[in-house]
Every structure is written in structure tokens, then in C-alpha cells.
A and B are shown apart, each in its own frame.
Chain A
Amino acid sequence: AQSVDQPDAHVTLSEGASLELRCSYSYSAAPYLFWYVQYPGQSLQFLLKYITGDTVVKGTKGFEAEFRKSNSSFNLKKSPAHWSDSAKYFCALEGPGNYKYVFGAGTRLKVIA
């Protein structure tokens, strides 16, 4: 079975601070991992993905994430945060070859200007 956990339903921080959104997963083999962002009133947009290779991946809008096999995590980072980063962020996992994503419940980020 595969699952994704985003333990923080809400995160609030000040503009200029560093942000780190947590994501852990459970999967029996090497997964493909994704981060998506959903701005208020909009649909999901792709941020970045880890498939294989370099464990630090960079995406759009200045975000990056680090894949850590040792603790099954794929945390999203950005520094500094900007008020426009306020959105809901979803971590997702796909087992290679099975076409299906499993999404975490999401973390709602609020950046205070």
C-alpha cells in the first residue's frame, strides 16, 4: 500500500522567513514524488518532482525539495518566503508504472507580510 502524510494542516510564517513543508510517505519501493500548489480559487499547479538521481530537486517559483530515503521524506523548501506563496500545497506519490497518484491532505501556508 502507498500513502502520503502531510502532518501540518496549517503553517503560518512571516515574509522573509524560510519555509519548510513536511511530507512523509510509505511505499515498498522507490517512489516518484511530486509537489503541487493550489492558489485560492485556482486548480493545482505542478511545482517539482523527484524521479531518480540528485536528491535535491529544484522547481518553479524558487521552490526546492529534498528526497531522504532514510526517513521517507520529501520536504518542500523556499527561502525567503513571500506573501504570494500563500496557498495550499500538496505532496503526491506515484508508484512507478502504476499511473496512480496518492495525495497527502495538503498544508495550507499563510505568509504574513
Chain B
Amino acid sequence: GGIITQTPKFLIGQEGQKLTLKCQQNFNHDTMYWYRQDSGKGLRLIYYSITENDLQKGDLSEGYDASREKKSSFSLTVTSAQKNEMAVFLCASSPGTGLHTQYFGPGTRLLVL
């Protein structure tokens, strides 16, 4: 078995601030994902990474940067936090595509004042 750890659990920021969220997995999975979950909505893909040092944009990448410097970690940066923004950011990992399920972390809850 393995586990996905996301830090911080809660993140409160100010409008215009750059904010970084971190994700670690010990599954030794190749692929990692960042999703945004808004209240009452489904998950939307922000960035994903097929392997170390690879970055692929999802449907919601504008306003975000990502970094995959190690196989086990995947960071997401909100480049300029928007006032009153509130969402949960979920990190996931997978051995690969299609035949493999995704395993999700507990999430980081973001609130921008």
C-alpha cells in the first residue's frame, strides 16, 4: 500500500498572493495530477505529469504553475490568488493510464480573503 500526503491541509491567503501547495506519494507511481473541486461541482484537471520533470496542462491551468522535480512529489502554485476564492485542491497519482485507477490525497482547502 501507499499514501498521498498533501500540505498544508488548510491555506488562507490574501488577494494577489502567490501560494504553493505540495503533494507527496510513496506508491512509486509515474503519473500525478492536480484537480480543483468547487462546491457542488465535479473535479477539474489543472495540471498533470506523466513522469518526473514532465508537465501537461489540464483544462483549468490558467492562473496556475506546477512543478515535478522528483517522481514522488508534485507542487502546484496559485500565481495570483483571487479575492473570495474558496476551493479544495486534490492531488492524485496513478501507475499510468487507462487500466489504472487514480489514488487521491486528502486535499488542501484554500480560502482567499
* Residues of chain A whose beta carbon lies under 8 Å from any beta carbon of chain B: 4, 6, 9, 32, 34, 36, 42-46, 49, 51, 90, 94, 96-106
What is the distance, in angstroms, from A10's C-beta to the closest C-beta of chain B?
10
Pair B41/A105 contact, Cβ less than 8 Å: yes
In the bound complex, residues from chain B placing their C-beta under 8 Å from that of A43 are 90, 104-107
What is the distance, in angstroms, from B47's C-beta to the closest C-beta of chain A?
11
What is the distance, in angstroms, from B50's C-beta to the closest C-beta of chain A?
6
Pair B99/A105 contact, Cβ less than 8 Å: no
Q: Which residue of A lies closest to B44 (CB)?
A: A103
In the bound complex, residues from chain A placing their C-beta under 8 Å from that of B101 are 34, 46, 49
In the bound complex, residues from chain B placing their C-beta under 8 Å from that of A4 are 42
Tally of contacts, chain A with chain B, CB under 8 A = 57
In the bound complex, residues from chain B placing their C-beta under 8 Å from that of A106 are 41-42
- Asked if B98 is an interface residue, CB under 8 A from chain A, the answer is yes
A99 and B102 in contact (CB under 8 A), knowing A90-B43, A105-B40? no
In the bound complex, residues from chain B placing their C-beta under 8 Å from that of A32 are 98-99
A103 and B97 in contact (CB under 8 A), knowing A43-B90, A44-B104? no
The interface size of chain B toward A, counting residues with CB under 8 Å, comes to 25
Q: Which residue of B lies closest to A32 (CB)?
A: B98
Q: Which residue of B lies closest to A100 (CB)?
A: B45
In the bound complex, residues from chain A placing their C-beta under 8 Å from that of B90 are 43-44
In the bound complex, residues from chain A placing their C-beta under 8 Å from that of B97 are 94, 96-99
* Further contacts, 4 of them, CB under 8 A, given A43-B90, A101-B43, A106-B41: A43-B107, A44-B43, A46-B101, A105-B40
Q: Which residue of A lies closest to B45 (CB)?
A: A100
- Asked if B58 is an interface residue, CB under 8 A from chain A, the answer is yes
In the bound complex, residues from chain A placing their C-beta under 8 Å from that of B99 are 32, 51
Pair A100/B42 contact, Cβ less than 8 Å: no
Pair B42/A51 contact, Cβ less than 8 Å: no
Contacting A at CB under 8 A, from B55-113, are 56, 58, 90, 92, 97-99, 101-107
How many angstroms from the CA of A51 to the CA of B45 in the assembled complex? Answer: 21
